[in-house]
Amino acid sequence: MIATRSTPMPSTSPTRAPARATRTRRRWVAVMAAGTLALAGAACSPQRVEPSASTSGGQTVPFHPLYFSGAAPNATGGVSDADVTFQRGGDVLRVEFSEDQVEGVGDQIRAASWSAVTVASLLTGAPVTGTYRFTYTGYADGPSAGTLTTVAVLAAQRGITIDPKATMTGTINPDGTVGPVGGIPQKLQGAADNGFTTVLVPAGQRNDVDANTGNLVDLVELGKTLGVEVAEVANVYEAYSTLTGQTLPRSTGSGSDRLDDEVYAKFKAQTGLALSRYGEDESRFLNLPDAIQEALIDSALEAQGNAQRAQDLSDQGLQAGAFEAAWLGAAEMHAVVATGQALIDVVNGDLAATVNRVTGAQSAETDMYALLDSLATYDPANISDAAALAFAYGQALDSYTLSVFAENQLAGISDAYDQGQIGDQEALTQLLVPLLYFEFAGSMVDYGRSVFEVGRDLAGPAISDNVDLEGVADFFRKGADANWAAFNDVVIHSIAVQYEASDERVVTALADSDLEIAISLTQQQAIDGLKQYIGAGEPNAAYAQLGYAIGNYARNALLLYKYYSNGELDEDFQLTGVKSERAFNASLDLGQEQLSSIVKVLQEKGAQPAYQAALLESADIDRNGDVDDKFEALRYYWAGFVSGRVMAYLGGFAGSGFAD
């Protein structure tokens, strides 16, 4: 039974505002859905590489990934042989693999190699076309050579080689920071046995667990006994310098997240709209029966916290951050009210009423198509318009995907009910989950439309006549898909093997507890459907693909960072902390630097990076919160950086803003 004690909704005055919520948009819906169900149920020396005839003008760079194999007490480490050849030219980006063993190159290596090419190009403004051919000797798999592979790609692009006596281990993040890995003591031994004198490891992992003994090992001291110099590196710039002896140019300077008067006014108006919607739904919440309020009070307080945070930020003149918080609070409160109204039906046993509510919530899909129709008629005049259009398409795609996810759940419930596997009461409770997803899908449409209104019709340089819009979209889409492939291989498949379950069962279970996984799960299929809806050959179809790429590049990379690289998770796969604070802080610092620097480049070119400024402002605030907030800040930094780089490519100045 639902408790009958009434807990009135607190005032929204600053003195009574709750502390910042610990949950974030990444998983808020899924967390609330699970809680609702529970409630209802209770009811080397570098040298210049000269082009050779054998590579037709390509540049080949050998590199040596470290590997870890076996299990305690017989785990070992070793060194693989690989090289990458870069050939300029062509109309598209191609990544090829050559192996000397049947299935010698694993899926994780393939995904990591695609990611390395994407990151290397993002960091330097390299062309988004050309062919990269990776050659591996023997068997190779795993993402832990991500940074080394990225350095090899950069070296191939720039015509230098890697020190043949140096190597490293560490994954690569989309901003160029190095992610933590395992098995380093064994890898270090393998490097020493093969004559390597320098080994780089991720920052924060000087001390690592020996897989055979379980003891913590000081890698620097271990290296001394093995005749190997061990050094920690936080990012690809540091790794590149040590491995090649050269300096990798990096973006410099900081852009301002201060909004000009026009953008400020737009953000303020849209923030007011979101807070108005929040207020209407808060009133509806207070009119719900006391027992229902009690059941949903935690989620309602979280929504209220975001609304109050939005008001506080607006009062401080941080209008972009206020905008993000206001829309999050509005979406949360809307979902709370919808759930509360449905819980009344559950208590009353009114299955027909609940079905009607779910059917009504499906109107979010109609709103999504209306947004798509309006976007299809918009002709972007400059790169600022292009960014707004791409982001709006991305939100429409997220909404569509979440609706599809909800419809699949709804179909499963319907089938189970028709076959007599569940009765009225169980159907009632299960229907609350797709209802919640439909409600959030509708909020995504509203948010996307709001961001479009802020970002459209602003000043900015024209889209370059020389840019291949389809090619740029295709490049960033491949980067997003590479991140998802890596997540699927190193997280989903590993869990499936551990629990002797299918990959499909594992990803479905995780999607039930993490909204971002739910969205990513069907995005690759959804983007094709979206492009077909827009129409073959229509120019805005490329912007839809850009929207997909921008959102999913950061989303999928963060899933990999959270579930594999640096997130500490409990038995329910909920985030509790990080494995390496130093690595996490390095990611936040470089993410901030990258986003701020691309904002500066865009501003110097006369663009209005409204979306990037909003993400920068929001991320700078969130990074001071709890671990969930910090992860959200990281995603904001990455999404802003990638979208800013997209604008630079579209404007024809992708190589601007870099200095040695």
DSSP letters for 20-32: PPS--TTTHHHHH
| pLDDT tens per residue across span 128-150 | 889 999 999 887 777 889 999 99
* Confidence at residue 489, expressed as pLDDT on a 0 to 100 scale: 85
* Confidence at residue 1, expressed as pLDDT on a 0 to 100 scale: 20
Instruction: Encode burial over 225-247: b for 16+ CB neighbours within 10 A, e otherwise.
Output: ebebbbbbbbbbbbbbebbbbee
* Confidence at residue 23, expressed as pLDDT on a 0 to 100 scale: 42
Residue with tokens 């068997």: 139
The CB density around residue 277, as the number of other CB atoms within 10 Å, is 20
Q: What is the rounded CA–CA span in Å between residue 276 and residue 270?
A: 10
| pLDDT tens per residue across span 487-533 | 888 889 888 888 889 998 898 888 877 878 888 887 877 777 777 88
Phi, psi of 170 (to 5 degrees): 155, 135
* Confidence at residue 42, expressed as pLDDT on a 0 to 100 scale: 52
Identify whether the C-beta of residue 472 lies closer than 8 Å to the C-beta of residue 646.
Answer: yes
What does the block give as tokens for 583? Answer: 């690595």
Q: How far is CA 382 from the centre of its chain?
A: 26
Give 508: exposed, middle or buried? Use CB within 10 Å, 0-12, 13-18, 19+.
Answer: middle
- Which residues have a Cβ under 8 Å from the Cβ of 647 and sit 6 or more positions away? 383, 384, 386, 387, 602, 607, 609, 612
Query: What sign results for the dihedral spanned by CA atoms 494, 495, 501, 506?
Result: negative
The CB density around residue 284, as the number of other CB atoms within 10 Å, is 16
* Confidence at residue 14, expressed as pLDDT on a 0 to 100 scale: 30
Question: For the chain, give me the number of helices (H) and strands (E)?
Answer: 22, 17
Cα angle 76, 79, 82 (rounded to 5 degrees) comes to 145
What does the block give as tokens for 129? Answer: 């076309």
Measured torsion, CA atoms of residues 217, 219, 225, 227, in degrees rounded to the nearest 10: 160
Low-confidence ranges of the chain (pLDDT < 50): 1-27, 31, 44-57
Integer CA distances (angstroms), 127 to 7, 131, 154, 196, 436, in order: 59, 11, 12, 33, 43
DSSP string, 245-297: SSPPPEE-S----PPPHHHHHHHHHHHHHHHHHHHHHHHHHHTS-HHHHHHHH
Q: What is the rounded CA–CA span in Å between residue 212 and residue 505?
A: 32
* Confidence at residue 519, expressed as pLDDT on a 0 to 100 scale: 84
* Confidence at residue 379, expressed as pLDDT on a 0 to 100 scale: 94
DSSP string, 594-618: HHHHHHHHHHHTT---HHHHHHHHH
Nearest alpha-carbon partner for 378 in 505, 609, 544: 544
What does the block give as tokens for 466? Answer: 């020389």
Integer CA distances (angstroms), 369 to 134, 401, 402, 442, 622, in order: 42, 12, 14, 11, 32
Nearest alpha-carbon partner for 579 in 522, 55, 587: 587
In one letter, which amino acid is 413?
I
Integer CA distances (angstroms), 651 to 98, 247, 331, 381, 454, in order: 35, 27, 34, 11, 20
Q: What is the rounded CA–CA span in Å between residue 39 and residue 2?
A: 7
Phi, psi of 569 (to 5 degrees): -120, 150
In one letter, which amino acid is 461?
P
In one letter, which amino acid is 202?
P
Look up the pTM and report it. Answer: 0.85
Instruction: Encode burial over 479-493: b for 16+ CB neighbours within 10 A, e otherwise.
Output: bbbbbbbbbbbbbbb
Cα angle 313, 315, 316 (rounded to 5 degrees) comes to 65
- Which residues have a Cβ under 8 Å from the Cβ of 554 and sit 6 or more positions away? 174, 635, 638, 639, 642
Q: What is the rounded CA–CA span in Å between residue 554 and residue 536?
A: 27
Nearest alpha-carbon partner for 196 in 167, 174, 169, 232: 167
What does the block give as tokens for 527? Answer: 């983007």
DSSP string, 390-455: HHHHHHHHHHHHHHHHHHHHHHHHHHHHHTTSS-HHHHHHHHHHHHHHHHHHHHHHHHHHHHHHHH
Identify whether the C-beta of residue 438 lies closer than 8 Å to the C-beta of residue 518.
Answer: no
Residue with tokens 């395992």: 182
In one letter, which amino acid is 127?
P
* Confidence at residue 257, expressed as pLDDT on a 0 to 100 scale: 57
Q: What is the rounded CA–CA span in Å between residue 635 and residue 16?
A: 30
Measured torsion, CA atoms of residues 144, 145, 151, 155, in degrees rounded to the nearest 10: -170
First-residue to last-residue Cα distance in the chain? 66
